[in-house]
A = this chain, B = another copy of it.
Amino acid sequence: MSAAILVLLLDLTGTFAFAISGATAGVRKRLDLFGVLVLAFAAATAGGIARDALIGATPPAALADWRYLAVSIVAGLAAFYFFEQIERLRHPVQLFDAIGLGFFAVSGAGKALAYDLGPSGAVLLGMLSGIGGGIARDLLVAEVPSVLRRELYAVAALLAAACVVAGDALGWPAAPTALAGALACIGLRMLAVHRGWQLPVAGPRAPKDPSGE
């Protein structure tokens, strides 16, 4: 019972963090209040909605459960009316975002396994659950998704999902494995942010195409 409440709290925390990131992107692009709310909801739920559509779990949980919408609206209103204060909270927001990433990746991989996906499919869908919201957010404001560029962002989601899938294959207990995967994701992501870790970029063309940055 308390585990279910913990899971729900973590899930809604991640939803809130991702909704904040979507709403602030909308404010920066000068969308109106409603556009900001749409972006908040899209960033918070697109990963889970895509996962559910792909595994056939229709209707997606984020549409069937009103709490995801409610949390997204609260986060969107907060970002709209307190934009400057939130911009100053960059570090806490990044921590929330990493928590959301880890938890979404873990729960996405677990749901994919429950729908009989194989290991590689479950890892991919776990990663998609984590990074899909950020991709939808950036596509809607016509930018190259930053989750494909930022410090070990998608890699951290992959790590969390891979922990869950490996634990499932090896018969480890589900809850501690999921927690370990989420913590590994959060730790890797926060370390990468603070130390500026990056994956390599293909070298030879670097001086020729600065506009691609």
Please give the residue numbers on chain A whose beta carbons come within 8 Å of chain B beta carbons, in ascending order.
26-36, 38-39, 41, 49, 53-56, 58-60, 63-66, 69, 80-81, 83-84, 112, 115-121, 124-125, 135, 139-145, 148-149, 152, 154-155, 158, 198-202, 204-206, 209, 212-213
Copies in the complex: 3
Q: Is the interface of A mostly helix, strand, loop or mixed?
A: helix
Contact B117 A59 (CB under 8 A): yes
Q: Give CA–CA (A143, B80) in the complex, Å.
A: 22
Q: Give CA–CA (A65, B59) in the complex, Å.
A: 23
Across the interface, which residues of B come within 8 angstroms of A56, CB to CB?
56, 58-59
By beta carbon, the residue of chain B nearest A81 is B202
Across the interface, which residues of B come within 8 angstroms of A26, CB to CB?
148
Contact A202 B83 (CB under 8 A): yes
By beta carbon, the residue of chain B nearest A61 is B121
Contact A30 B120 (CB under 8 A): no
| Closest-CB distance, A138 to chain B (whole angstroms) | 8
